[in-house]
Amino acid sequence: MPSAEQKPGLSTWITASRPATLWAAAVPVFVGGALAFNDGVFRFEIFIVTLVAAIAIQIATNFANDASDAKRGADTPDRLGPVRAVSSGLLTSRQAWTGVWLMFAVAAIGGLYLASQAGAVIIAIGVVSIAAGLGYTGGPRPYGYAGLGELFVFVFFGLVATVGSRFVHDATITTDAIWLAVPIGLLATAILVANNIRDIPTDEAAGKRTLAVRMGRDQSETLYALLMMGGTVLPTIGAVLGVVPAGAAASIVSAVGAWGLVGRVRAGAEGRDLIPVLTGTAQTQLALGVLITVGIIVAGL
């Protein structure tokens, strides 16, 4: 493990930030911005600040989870997936926590600006989001170890992030933002479910009682399928019902890839064979977000 005098390079910090996970924070901001554009209230500076703050909170949460999991022994050499910076020795725990507070400071600065534009409720949302990020694998009773991680992801990466990203433009909560927050949250949750299905053996050994560990493989597969199918068809249903802008229906294209991923999980993929499924799930959420965003903007021109 590096000594306190050794300063990690930029590449180490990038690795520790888990770049592949950052799209889950960005997608709701893009969709919220597209909805604001459709309503004629889009503000570019608000969009950029929201995007930076959301990504900063995600990076801070990743750093905190890295340090907390290493401390609890959850990131063993048998664990599959991306390198974890603290457990692998790329960062010390102290360095990781320095990164946590630096990223939270960036998010706080952005949050103060957004609060000056959209109201003090933004500060409350930011504080709760930070506390939730820290409590995922940290603290005396981390809820990520108690099977509540999926609920956290759905609420904060779906409902709060999407509705909040629309709200900051003109301090308005809209029905279309609430509707689209659900599929975005479902697919973000599916990413975690795929991750936790892969990690069932190592999580069980570490005493990490994730929802996948509690439910078992078969029921976790069913949950994954429901999340993927619900996430990819709900925007189109909303468009047909007139609840969301018609352009959001373009996202139905993402259902094709989702079906393929569900089939691979149902076929019994495990261990390293689930890594492409995890990557594909994240790409499906990104595709959904891009298609919704572009569809709404183009249809509104």
Q: What is the DSSP string of 219-262?
A: HHHHHHHHHHHHHHHHHHHHHHHTSS-GGGGGGGGHHHHHHHHH
Mean per-residue pLDDT, 62-76: 76
**Predicted confidence band at 216 (pLDDT cuts at 50, 70, 90)?**
very high
Q: Rounded distance, CA 19 to CA 59, Å?
A: 8
Q: Provide the pLDDT for residue 101.
A: 95
Please check the confidence at residue 74 and state whether its pLDDT lies above 70: no
Q: Rounded distance, CA 50 to CA 164, Å?
A: 9
Q: Rounded distance, CA 148 to CA 220, Å?
A: 14
Please check the confidence at residue 187 and state whether its pLDDT lies above 90: yes
Q: Provide the pLDDT for residue 77.
A: 54
Q: Provide the pLDDT for residue 190.
A: 97
Look at residue 1 and tell me if it is in a domain.
Answer: no
The enclosing domain of 241 has a CATH number of 1.10.600
99, with CB counted inside 10 A (0-12, 13-18, 19+), is: buried
Look at residue 54 and tell me if it is in a domain.
Answer: yes
Q: Provide the pLDDT for residue 300.
A: 76
Look at residue 3 and tell me if it is in a domain.
Answer: no
Q: Provide the pLDDT for residue 81.
A: 60
| pLDDT averaged over every residue in the chain | 90
Look at residue 4 and tell me if it is in a domain.
Answer: no
Number of domains comprising the chain: 1
Look at residue 5 and tell me if it is in a domain.
Answer: no
Look at residue 273 and tell me if it is in a domain.
Answer: yes
Count Cβ neighbours within 10 Å for each residue of 111-139 and write b for 16 or more, e otherwise: bebbbeebeeebeebbeebbebbbbbbbe
Look at residue 64 and tell me if it is in a domain.
Answer: yes
pTM: 0.91
SS (H, E, C) 48-78: HHHHHHHHHHHHHHHHHHHHHHHHHCCCCCC
Q: Provide the pLDDT for residue 222.
A: 96
At residue 300, the 3 state secondary structure works out as helix
Look at residue 2 and tell me if it is in a domain.
Answer: no
268, with CB counted inside 10 A (0-12, 13-18, 19+), is: exposed
Q: Provide the pLDDT for residue 79.
A: 55
Which DSSP state fits 5? T
36-50, 76-90, 129-143, 271-285, range with the lowest pLDDT: 76-90
Q: The domain containing residue 234 runs over which residues?
A: 10-300
